[in-house]
Structure 1
Amino acid sequence: MTRIGRGRAKSTAAAGALLAGLLGGVLAAPSTAAAAGSGDAGTLGRCDRVWVKNVYGYKSKFFGRGPVYSDGPGGKMTLTKIKAGEMGTSITGTLGVSVKAAVAEAKAEVSTGVQVKATWTASHSYEREIRRGKYGNVQYGVKGHTAKVEKYLTLPDCSKSQRQTATVELANKRQGFRYWETNS
């Protein structure tokens, strides 16, 4: 019986020391396997059970809105008026990340020009020489980004649980015409 009592005393003392260390901010480093698969959380020496929202994998993209105007072959293309319009940042999928949160993170990480909605008026003009034998094509739109959005729960072993992903199209203040040429 004395032996069992000592065992309990040791485990109670060990649990108390661990609790004191946790409350005091001293944490044991996670196992190598947990740290390797966890990214930044493993370098902190612990992982809390919290929901994390992340935007990553930004790629520049032109989001054309309205008609595509074509002219040619060769010559000069002049476009004097387009329709007013707008393009809003949007997230495909339902994972509980708001457009405002995605825009805020993108502003900090990729461009201060990212916004919830881009609008334009109907008064624009564009002029361009078309190469001989080619057809010129023009469309107005927003120069923005696409990115991946993820939401996941971190577990105490630094792994991700209940991970969900979606795609976001981020509008930008930069807008204008996009021109390209084709053979027909």
Structure 2
Amino acid sequence: MKRSTITTVAALAIAAGVPNVAQADSPDPASLAICDGGWKTDIYAQSKKHLGKGPIYKDGPGGTMVLTRTQAGTASTAITAGGGVTVSGIVAEAKIEVSRESVAAVSWDTQHQFRRDVTRGKYGNAQYGSWGHSVKWQKYYQLPNCKKTQVTHGTADIANTTIGFKYWETSS
């Protein structure tokens, strides 16, 4: 079979939607994917993180810790490493990939009472803030053949609309 005949058969098969058929003169026969290309931001790792704001309260040893938060505050999303992305861009991606409750900033101004028994001989610690996430992100340019060229990467702490006290105990 002549090369032009092979190319014609392959072109007809592609037009007919036959999978895994590529042109014989294609430099990469397996690469028929087509992507929209352009700049993309992607979150590829996440973990829950309390974004504490304001004082850390300490009580003990032992007993009961009672706190009433009356001071207003705000916890904000922050890009902690890397560059080339905006807070609004990272929050938009986080709403898709991490939590739809992700926000650029969350504020509070109402009273919140917290009560916790402290283990005997230990000290109770508490801090108010947003129950958000720590993420790793990358920004890259995607070529029409779906290959990525990574431009930059970094980390960010993303605020969430869920707020409250974080509690932990220490020996001193």
Q: CA shift at 1:111, angstroms?
A: 1.4
Change (3 A) 1:166 1:127: same
Q: Is the 8 A contact 2:63 2:120 kept in 1?
A: yes
What is the aligned-residue RMSD (CA, Å)?
A: 3.0
- Say which of 75, 83, 90 aligns to 1:94: 83
Q: In 1, distance between residues paired with 2:27 and 2:97? A: 29
Tell me the TM-score normalised to structure 1 length: 0.71
Tell me the TM-score normalised to structure 2 length: 0.75
Q: In 1, distance between residues paired with 2:28 and 2:97? A: 31
Structure 1 gap ranges (5+):
1-9, 36-41
- Give the corresponding residue for 1:103: 91
Q: CA shift at 1:82, angstroms?
A: 4.3
Q: How does 1:67-86 map to 2 (within 5 A)?
A: 67-86=55-74
- Give the corresponding residue for 2:135: 147
Q: CA shift at 1:108, angstroms?
A: 2.0
Max Rg structure: 1
Q: In 1, distance between residues paired with 2:27 and 2:83? A: 33
- Residue deviations 1:64-87, cap 9 Å, x none? 111111111111111123421101
Q: Is the 8 A contact 2:128 2:166 kept in 1?
A: yes
- Give the corresponding residue for 1:121: 109
Structure 2 gap ranges (5+):
none
Change (3 A) 1:49 1:74: closer
Q: Does 1:166 align with 2:154?
A: yes
Q: How does 1:9-20 map to 2 (within 5 A)?
A: none
- Give the corresponding residue for 2:124: 136
- State the number of aligned residues: 156
Q: Does 1:181 align with 2:169?
A: yes
Q: Is the 8 A contact 2:41 2:138 kept in 1?
A: yes
Q: In 1, distance between residues paired with 2:27 and 2:60? A: 66
